[in-house]
Structure 1
Amino acid sequence: MAHFPVNHPARPLFRVLAGLIGLYILVFGVYGTVATWGKPLFDRSDTHALGLRTNLAFALVSVVFGAVLLVGASRRTNLGHYMNLTAGVVFLVTGLLMMSVLQTSANFLNFSMSTVIVSLSFGLVLLATGLYDRIGPAEHAAAEERRRRHTIAGNR
């Protein structure tokens, strides 16, 4: 069974990282929507936004996804934990799938290799933030701290 740390001391840092990724995705989506407005939804032209290739469909999805990540990062509940875990997996799977169809007509989101690399990087960071962003009651935090101290003392 997986062990997710509860009330990790670096939790605020991880929430900031998730929020920054959400903000970048939101700004990318808004800028991409403006840059691709009036073009076909799944256009495969050479339109770039913030250094990444995009089309209207990818830009609109990015606006929604960025807003969702910002909401998750701003909440002080386990909602951010679950959202970051899910978003990390979604980014990793999307990056791998789009890399597999990069040079084909199935590249409906107009990904380039740089977009794949950014997607995989964001996926790994969001997965890490999701792993350490769990909160719990004071009893769980105390038990977690005892477990950490016992492990450190037992390794000497």
Structure 2
Amino acid sequence: MAHIPINHPARPLYRVLSGLVGLYILIFGIFGLVETAGNSLFGRDDVYALGLRTNLAFSLVSVLFGIVILIGASQRGNLGHFMNLTAGVVFLVVGLVMLTVLQTEANILNFSVATVVVSMIFGLVTLATGLYDKVGPPARAEAEREYRRTASTDPAG
């Protein structure tokens, strides 16, 4: 049975990493909105913001998603834990979907290979953040640590 660590000592570091991802996405979205102002919503133009291709729709989604991730990173309870887990999965799924439609007309968010790579990296970072920022009562965290310690020293277990 897998155990998600509770009250992990590096929880503040993981929240900072998640916040940096959210901040980058928010800034990317804002720059993208400035660069794509006046363009069509799902345009496939050669428009870049912070080194990644974008269009108006992708920039709008980035602003909203960046705000959501920043809210999740600022939450000290398990709401942030679930928001980061969800954001990580969304990044990975969107990255895979956009990779499959990269050279087709279905590439409505104007992704490039670099955008897919960044999406995958951000997905892994936010997923890892979600796995290590779970909060619980100190007694339950101690019980989990004790279980892992005895399971790792028990050759049968």
Which of the five TM-score ranges fits, normalised by the shorter chain? Answer: over 0.9
Residue in 2 that maps onto 1:41: 41
- Matches of 1:2 and 1:26 in 2, distance apart? 33
Superposition pairs for residues 40-119 of structure 1, below 5 Å? 40-119=40-119
Residue in 2 that maps onto 1:139: 139
Q: Aligned to 1:42, what secondary structure does the other structure show? A: coil
Residue in 1 that maps onto 2:25: 25
Residue 109 of structure 1 aligns with an amino acid whose one-letter code is L
Residue 35 of structure 1 aligns with an amino acid whose one-letter code is E
Sequence identity (%): 66
How much has 1:153 moved relative to structure 2?
Answer: 4.5
Residue 104 of structure 1 aligns with an amino acid whose one-letter code is T
- Matches of 2:49 and 2:137 in 1, distance apart? 43
Residue 53 of structure 2 aligns with an amino acid whose one-letter code is R
Q: What TM-score comes out, normalization by structure 1 length?
A: 0.95
How much has 1:138 moved relative to structure 2?
Answer: 1.4
**Which moved further from structure 2: 4-13 or 41-50?**
4-13
Residue 84 of structure 1 aligns with an amino acid whose one-letter code is N
- Matches of 1:57 and 1:140 in 2, distance apart? 44
- Matches of 2:12 and 2:30 in 1, distance apart? 27
Residue 78 of structure 1 aligns with an amino acid whose one-letter code is N
- Matches of 2:47 and 2:141 in 1, distance apart? 48
- Matches of 1:153 and 1:93 in 2, distance apart? 37
How much has 1:19 moved relative to structure 2?
Answer: 0.4
How much has 1:32 moved relative to structure 2?
Answer: 0.3
Q: Aligned to 1:3, what secondary structure does the other structure show? A: coil
Summarize the Cα distance change of 1:2–1:153 in structure 2 as closer, same or farther, 3 Å threshold.
closer
Q: What TM-score comes out, normalization by structure 2 length?
A: 0.94
Q: List runs of 5+ in structure 1 lacking aligned partners.
A: none
Residue 63 of structure 1 aligns with an amino acid whose one-letter code is V
Q: Aligned to 1:135, what secondary structure does the other structure show? A: coil
Q: Give the superposed CA RMSD.
A: 1.2
Q: Figure out how many residues of one structure are paired with residues of the other and give that number.
A: 155
How much has 1:122 moved relative to structure 2?
Answer: 0.6
